[in-house]
């Protein structure tokens, strides 16, 4: 858990950027239509386009190697993202989207960790009785504190260092509200005493 606190501190201080899209599946018509793989990759292209257009570079994008029925989703992501960038006349371009073994890429591991934390926090917001361990709730609270928040279920767009937005926009944007990131880098580590009695699974 303290490694996770260090990861977020690194993101907030190192000049890298973390971008995430949080999808309310019940309001996402494409997801509800049954083509969930297509819906997933549509939102994936949105977050890549949003991340890349902040630069003026030609970018290589590494994504987690998922098992998909269609093997060329990575190629389609590059094509679709470049079309989106062209439509807004962005200087950035995606040269390649490449599936990668996350064990070999600390950047993917960091994104997976932070995405997992956001997923758990939003799950708790939408379903307060969800079975989430008390130790995980403590970690979510500590991560939220590092952003200057009381919880981790807000959206932020736009923010250069830590950018979260809710999708679909009309149904989920600013729910419950949009927050500015105010880094609080002196948030303490979680101690064994804090975990005592909470359950540390």
143 within 8 A of 47, measured Cβ to Cβ: no
Closest-CA residue to 56 (of 92, 17, 93): 92
Q: What are 164's two structure tokens?
A: 């979260």
Look at residue 201 and tell me whether its pLDDT is greater than 60. no
Closest-CA residue to 1 (of 147, 198, 139, 196): 139
The pLDDT-based confidence of 199 (bands split at 50, 70, 90) is: low
149 within 8 A of 178, measured Cβ to Cβ: no
92 within 8 A of 56, measured Cβ to Cβ: yes
> Is it true that the peptide bond before 176 is cis, omega within 30 degrees of 0?
yes
Mean pLDDT of 78-85: 93
Quickly tell me which residue has 């950027």 as its tokens: 17
Does residue 165 sit in helix, strand or coil? strand
Q: How many Å apart are CA 122 and CA 119, to the nearest integer?
A: 5
21 within 8 A of 43, measured Cβ to Cβ: yes
Other CB atoms closer than 10 Å to residue 8's CB: what's the count?
23
What local confidence, expressed as pLDDT, does residue 200 receive?
47
Phi, psi of 150 (to 5 degrees): -95, -10
Other CB atoms closer than 10 Å to residue 12's CB: what's the count?
18
Look at residue 56 and tell me whether its pLDDT is greater than 90. no
pLDDT tens digit string along 106-158? 999 999 999 999 999 999 999 999 999 999 999 999 999 999 999 999 999 78
- CA dist 32 → 26, 37, 39, 178 (Å): 7, 11, 9, 26
Report the residue count for the chain.
Answer: 201
Q: Choose the weakest-confidence range: 66-70, 84-88, 147-151, 181-185.
A: 66-70
Mean pLDDT of 55-77: 86
């Amino acid at each position: 858990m303290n490694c996770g606190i260090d990861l977020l501190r690194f993101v907030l201080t190192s000049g890298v950027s973390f971008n995430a899209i949080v999808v309310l599946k019940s309001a996402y018509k494409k997801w509800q239509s049954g083509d969930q793989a297509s819906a997933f990759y549509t939102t994936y292209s949105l977050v890549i386009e949003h991340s890349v257009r902040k630069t003026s570079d030609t970018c290589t994008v590494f994504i987690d190697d998922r098992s998909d029925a269609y093997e060329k989703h990575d190629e389609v992501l590059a094509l679709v993202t470049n079309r989106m960038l062209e439509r807004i006349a962005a200087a950035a371009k995606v040269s390649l989207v490449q599936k990668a073994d996350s064990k070999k890429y600390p950047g993917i591991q960091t994104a997976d960790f932070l995405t997992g934390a956001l997923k758990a926090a939003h799950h708790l917001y939408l379903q307060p009785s969800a079975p989430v361990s008390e130790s995980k709730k403590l970690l979510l609270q500590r991560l939220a504190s590092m952003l200057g928040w009381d919880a981790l279920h807000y959206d932020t767009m736009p923010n250069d260092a830590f950018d979260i937005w809710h999708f679909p926009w009309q149904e989920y944007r600013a729910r419950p509200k949009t927050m500015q990131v105010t880094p609080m880098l002196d948030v303490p580590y979680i101690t064994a005493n804090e975990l005592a009695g909470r359950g540390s699974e």
